[in-house]
């Protein structure tokens, strides 16, 4: 369960991007955030993953209050959140497998990951996830050799490598052709159903929201 209470964010420019958001997302629920550009959608999800520090209010993820955590505790809490981005945010020169394993960086120590020595069980799990997203046969290809849809599948597998409690997706299909969008949405739907994950999903597209989401939150002017 993710719970936001009276969440506010004022940027240094003086602008209030969030004006007191209350939102509760039970386990397994998928919620779409929609609304015009500048409404505060990105600010909201950045407050949840704490790329942005809220001005006031609270954020509880499975009982942990996120806004008051020390940096070490915050790093741990971030492992509970899988991020999926519009532009995939892959490391292009690395293989598909290495990109998925990079999702484990929060768990594997820096030097160990730097030397690319991931534990066998992580490698096994990464193969399972690649299978899950239909890319097992591509494990050794470089990320930049794959199509947009395949790259987003890597992004999804990487986000699941953290074994997250919530998936946060920022326009995950808007860079893709419509036919490919449908495949990725089907995959996200399957994941939702099988893994009982909560998801927050920013989208501009109501059809996308209708297919994958249980609930819509409409934002405007930070409300």
- The answer to the question of residue 144 lying near ligand ADP (CB under 6 A) is no
Q: Which residues partner with 34 through β-bridges?
A: 218
What is the rounded CA–CA span in Å between residue 79 and residue 143?
23
- The answer to the question of residue 179 lying near ligand ADP (CB under 6 A) is no
Name the minimum Å distance from CB 138 to ligand ADP.
32
Region binding ligand ADP by CB under 6 A among candidate stretches 32-40, 71-79, 154-162, 190-198: 32-40
- Pick the closest to residue 166 from 63, 30, 21 (CA basis): 30
Q: Label residue 75 left, alpha or beta by phi (over 0 means left) and psi (-120 to 50 means alpha).
A: alpha
CA distances 12 to 15, 16, 30, 51, Å, are 7, 9, 32, 15
CB nearer ligand ADP, residue 21 or residue 61: 21
Phi and psi, residue 25, nearest 5°:
-120, 105
Work out which of 43, 152, 159, 198 binds ligand ADP, going by CB under 6 A: 43
Region binding ligand ADP by CB under 6 A among candidate stretches 7-15, 78-86, 129-137, 176-184: 7-15
CB nearer ligand ADP, residue 45 or residue 160: 45
CB nearer ligand ADP, residue 38 or residue 148: 38
- The answer to the question of residue 37 lying near ligand ADP (CB under 6 A) is yes
Name the minimum Å distance from CB 12 to ligand ADP.
6
CA distances 165 to 55, 86, 168, Å, are 25, 20, 10
Phi and psi, residue 12, nearest 5°:
-60, -25
Name the minimum Å distance from CB 76 to ligand ADP.
25
Work out which of 31, 32, 41, 200 binds ligand ADP, going by CB under 6 A: 41
Q: Angle between the 178-195 and 148-161 helix axes, to the nearest 10 degrees? A: 20
Interface mask toward ligand ADP for 10-29; x: CB under 6 A: -x-x-x-x------------
Work out the number of other CB atoms within 10 angstroms of the CB of residue 165.
19
Work out which of 3, 5, 42, 64 binds ligand ADP, going by CB under 6 A: 42
The binding site for ligand ADP (CB under 6 A) comprises: 11, 13, 15, 17, 35, 37-43
């Amino acid at each position: 369960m993710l719970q936001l209470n009276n969440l506010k964010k004022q940027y240094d420019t003086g602008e209030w991007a969030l004006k007191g958001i209350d939102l509760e997302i039970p386990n397994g629920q998928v919620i779409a955030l929609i609304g015009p550009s500048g409404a505060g959608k990105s600010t909201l999800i950045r407050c949840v993953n704490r790329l942005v520090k809220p001005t006031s209010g609270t954020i509880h993820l499975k009982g942990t209050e996120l806004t008051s955590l020390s940096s070490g505790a915050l790093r741990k809490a971030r492992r509970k959140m899988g991020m999926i981005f519009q532009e995939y945010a892959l490391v292009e020169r690395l293989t598909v497998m290495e990109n998925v394993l990079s999702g484990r960086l929060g768990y594997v120590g820096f030097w160990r990951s730097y030397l690319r020595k991931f534990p066998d069980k992580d490698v096994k799990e990464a193969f399972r996830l690649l299978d899950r997203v239909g890319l097992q046969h591509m494990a050794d290809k470089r990320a930049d050799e794959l199509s947009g849809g395949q790259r987003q599948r890597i992004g999804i597998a990487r986000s699941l490598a953290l074994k997250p409690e919530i998936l946060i997706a920022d326009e995950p299909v808007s860079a893709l052709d419509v036919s490919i969008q449908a495949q990725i949405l089907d995959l996200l739907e399957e994941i939702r159903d099988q893994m009982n994950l909560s998801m927050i999903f920013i989208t501009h597209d109501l059809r996308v929201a209708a297919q994958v989401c249980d609930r819509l939150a409409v934002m405007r002017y930070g409300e």
